[in-house]
Every structure is written in C-alpha cells, then in structure tokens.
A and B are shown apart, each in its own frame.
Chain A
C-alpha cells in the first residue's frame, strides 16, 4: 500500500549555540551547550484520503514533524516520505504536492488586497490566474470573505486574516495539506467556520490528505479520522478517536467534586488504585473537581476511603464516559494547559 505520509524512526535534535560570547569568556562563564530533542523516534503512516491529527501539548514536537514533512527542516536521523518521496532527497517533487497553513500566520504584504495576496502565493505554484480567481471566489464565498476581497490585508481582523490564509493553502489544490494549529487564536464562530470548510473540502476531495496539528481536544475529536498523540517527541498512541476513548476502560473514569482543596499536594497521591488524577480548582464556587482514572472499576472504594481519611467530603461522585481528553490524560499523564486553572497531577 502506498502511504500519503510515512515516517520511520524520525529524530530531530536542535543544538544550542556553542559559541561563547566574548563577555562570557572574559568572565569565565561556562560554554552554552546541549541539545534539545524535539523528535525521538517518530513512526507514522497516513493513508491517502485521511484527515490525520497530531495532538499534543506545546513543545511536543507536532510542528517539528510538519516542518520536516514540508521540507523546511532536515531530520537528524530516520526517514520521512511524502507521497512516497523522501523529503531529504527530492524536496522539489515533494513541494509540488504540498502546501501549509499555520495558525497565527502574518504572511503577505499589507499593501496587497486579499485577492492579490492569494493570487501572488498561487503564482509560486504555477496556478494560472483564471483558475486562481475561480477557486478563490468560491472559497471566499464559503468562508464569508467575498465582501473583503478587495480590502488590503493590513486592515483585516485576525479571523479574516486566517480565513485568507486558509484559502491561500487550499487554492493550490495540494495533494497533501499541512494545517498547523489553523484555529489558533480564533474566536469560536470563526474557528467553527474554518473547521466546517476543511471538512467540506475533504468530502469533496476524498483522495486528498490533510495533516492537522492541534492542542484542542474537541477539534481533533470532531475532525480527525485518526489521531496520533505525541508528547516530548514520542508518539504515545495512534488510532481513531473512538478507539482511543474505548481503550480507556469506560468503567474507570470518575469525576469527583470536593470542597476547594487549597493544600499543595494531591489528596489521592500514591494510591495504588488510581492511575491518574487531574484537579481543577473553581475558586468562584469553592469547589475542586477531580477527574480520576482508576486502574479498575473497583478502585472507587479505595478513593472514597482515602478522601475520608484526609477529612475531605466527596460532594459528588459521577462515573463518566471517557472523552478524548481523558484518553490523552491517561497516556500523557498530564493535561493540556487550558487557561481554566486546571492543575495536572499524576497519581
């Protein structure tokens, strides 16, 4: 079978600058040295026609994978292939087949209009002007950008700009498209429009492939055919969202609400029955919510007993169907930072 994307033991390290600045030499300070391991043996295989997700926290290595596949970075070791072509050997042929859109992108020139910007970037792919305008008009209509087609991009809001970037990526009709956190920083409505556009494009082009990186669980769950969960440069799991959730036994997930826990430790620390705990403190309500994953369904008794020993009243105990976030928490051992004051804690 030919894969759209295949990586084999992909590794990438970044060296720190080892040249000592002259003022450090004079003061006898140590040389800056060391390496950062961004990817540590990543094996991926993406089928043609898949919308494949890379899900992980900041610094997990998602963007590094994309940059290697997009021929912006060379792997330190291992191999990466796009449409059967080694990215390190024949980058030009890879580039004919791909495009990339990143979240928070500020590419382009402020003096050009939306239409001109999309046209300009399409010229680098050799797309004839007439074809560009036809595709552009259709996509702008879908994304609600038609009224701003002749607006200079310096005047666009963040959401409008990202819609333009999305069109820039799709207008070249790439065989494989890389979307690096495409809804980053967008409000809910715009993010939803972008996701709907991407999903519709995949339905219309079932032979095309999209690799999507995100740290939004709901986005990955909603959009992706399969997801690879990546953390600290390693792929921890790779499967459909349903299977990832199913693998986390549904009997083992509980949500427990207790009075606001102000002590620094985890009340369920070192309890053998508990696989992992995430705590979320709701100061406004005077409550702490714990999401507890047990080793098995009988563990709940041990949990309530420990809480009782610590003098903590369990205000509510609810068994839950696992979400993708729960599966992630179970695999990674910590959640993604989400701005809600959620704490991460392992058992």
Chain B
C-alpha cells in the first residue's frame, strides 16, 4: 500500500515537473523573440476591426460590434488550442522530440498541458489586447452583472476546449499532415458555425444545436449573455444550462482525450508510425 502511495506521489511530481518543463519553452520563447507581439497581437486586431467596421457600415445593432470584439479575444484561445497544442505533436514528431517524450515516464497530457500553460501568456496578451483596444476604439459598452458566473463560464470553456485540443492532438500524433490539413479545412467553417462573427442562433435552431457540440459555441453564447446583460442577444440556451453543459463537456472531453491519446499511441506503436523513418 505504502509502495503504491509512493509511486503515485512520484508520478505526480514527475508530471508536475514535466508541465513546467514544457511550459518553459513557450514562456522563454515569448521573451526571447518579441516579434510575436506584432504577429500574434497587432495583426489579429485588424481582423476584429474589419468585422466591427462592416457591422457599423451596415447599421447593425451596436452589441454586434461588442460580440465581434469578444469573439476576437476568444479566437486567440481557440487558435492556441488548434495550432499550438493539437498540431504540436505533429511538429514535435518532425523535430524528433516526440519519441523522446514517448520514452519518458510522463503522462502525454502533462506535456500537452505544459504546452497550453506556456502558451497562455501569449494567448492572454493577445486576448486582452483585442478586448481592451477594440472596446476603446469602438466604444463598446459592457454590462456585467454576475462576475462569478462569468469567471466560471470562462474557465469551464477553457477546460472543455483544451480537452478537445488534447483529443485532437492524438489524431495529429498519428495522422500528422493529414490531420493538419483537415484542421486547416475546418478552421473557417468552425468560426462560422460557432458564432464567432454573429450570435449562433441566427443560423437557425437546428444548425445552432449542432454547433453546440463544439464547446466554444456554448462558451461564447454564455459570455455574451453575461457581459451584455440587458441587451437582446438571441441566446441559444440560458447561461445556467450552458454552464452545466460546459462542465460536462470538460469532464467528458478530457476523459476522451486520455483514452484517445492512449489508443492512438498504442496504434502508432503497432503500425510503427510514431517515429520518423530515418530514426
């Protein structure tokens, strides 16, 4: 019994060290190559501004500009998941790092979590910049009545989409470039159906229900209801329902990610696709 407890403590300590070790690369990268400020912060501002200007030109209700600014901030997290986490195992395989991760006595999810946490600095900077600058330029008015629920919705959304990213990473690990092209293919459709550019309910009930399978749809919808309280926002579900669904999605997606990573790794070991041919 004591041995099992010691083993578990040792495994936990190793995984925590692995999270910090892998996060360190991203943290250091942000400090040593400041060009990311231009590419990751200033350029994305232009995309959000473009949509805001289109809505203003069309005479759309002012809250639509607010929606776009908030979406622009959340896009940062989605792209971090898709390209800086899910696709990362593919890039790591090409670099020769993946096999070193796989022979180490550490959880794959710990390494992915390290990537996610390390990327949070850049991602959060981008999100805050879009939110603050966008809100100031377009004079967006917020009316948050329940900060605690907003905090809970935000972190439940993060938990769910990062679980989705970890699940996707298992596909990238094995299928590499094919999965990468698929992710590329679905980037704009995902933006469209999850309500990045407009409330998802505008797409009709059926499409909106289908889109709610992606946690970001529910997260964006709930966040909009909470920060534009009192404004008509055409919600999909109530905030309470969306929060419950997000929490459930977090648990389910992270569990699926754990199983998916294990399954894909075993499949990769059987087929010999985990390492480069030259190695």
Contact = CB atoms under 8 A, between A and B. Distances in A.
Nearest to A70: B103
B275 A124 contact: no
Given A105-B96, A111-B28, A71 B272 contact: no
B97 A67 contact: no
B95 to A, nearest CB: 7
B96 A95 contact: no
A18 B50 CA distance: 48
B32 A92 contact: no
Interface residues of A, number: 36
Interface stretch (B13-21, B71-79, B192-200, B236-244): B13-21
B272 A126 contact: no
A14 interface: yes
Interface in A99-133: 99-100, 102, 104-109, 111-112, 116, 119-127
Interface in B176-228: none
B97 A108 contact: yes
B59 interface: no
Nearest to B266: A74
A124 B279 contact: no
B18 A123 contact: yes
Contact of B21 (A74, A95, A106, A123): A123
A63 B103 CA distance: 15
Contact of A14 (B14, B28, B272): B272
Contact of B103 (A15, A74, A95, A108): A95
Contact of A98 (B20, B99, B103): B103
Contact of A124 (B10, B21, B25): B21
Contact of A71 (B10, B269, B270, B279): B269
Contacts, number: 94
A111 B14 contact: no
A204 B278 CA distance: 33
Given A72-B275, A105-B96, A119-B21, A124 B32 contact: no
Nearest to B103: A70
Contacts of A236: none
B245 interface: no
B25 A121 contact: no
B101 interface: yes
A35 to B, nearest CB: 12
Please report whether the interface of chain B is mostly helix, strand, loop or mixed according to DSSP. helix
Interface in B255-279: 266, 269-272, 274-275, 278-279
B104 A111 contact: no
A99 B33 contact: no
A128 to B, nearest CB: 8
A126 B10 contact: yes
Interface in A23-74: 63, 67, 70-74
A207 interface: no
Contacts of B33: 111
B105 to A, nearest CB: 4
Looking at B106, B269, B275, the one whose CB has the most chain A CB atoms below 10 A away is B269
B13 A106 contact: no
A96 interface: yes
Contacts of A63: 279
A72 B22 CA distance: 21
B21 A107 contact: no
Given A14-B272, A72-B269, A100-B103, A120 B21 contact: yes
A71 B95 contact: no
Interface in B1-55: 10, 13-14, 17-18, 20-22, 24-25, 28-29, 32-33
B57 interface: no
Given A123-B18, A123-B20, A124-B14, A73 B96 contact: no
B148 interface: no
Contact of B24 (A93, A95, A105, A120): A120
A95 B11 CA distance: 12
A126 B164 CA distance: 27
A95 B15 CA distance: 14
Interface of B: 10, 13-14, 17-18, 20-22, 24-25, 28-29, 32-33, 95-97, 99-106, 111, 266, 269-272, 274-275, 278-279
Per CB-CB distance, the 8 closest pairs between chain A and chain B, nearest first, are A123-B21, A126-B14, A124-B104, A95-B105, A123-B17, A96-B105, A107-B96, A74-B269
Given A96-B105, A108-B95, A126-B17, 19 more contacts: A70-B103, A72-B275, A73-B269, A74-B270, A95-B104, A95-B105, A100-B100, A105-B96, A105-B279, A107-B95, A111-B33, A116-B24, A120-B24, A121-B104, A122-B21, A123-B20, A123-B22, A126-B18, A126-B106
20 contacts: A15-B271, A71-B103, A72-B102, A72-B269, A72-B274, A73-B269, A96-B105, A100-B99, A100-B103, A105-B96, A106-B95, A116-B28, A120-B22, A123-B18, A123-B20, A124-B18, A124-B105, A125-B105, A126-B17, A126-B105
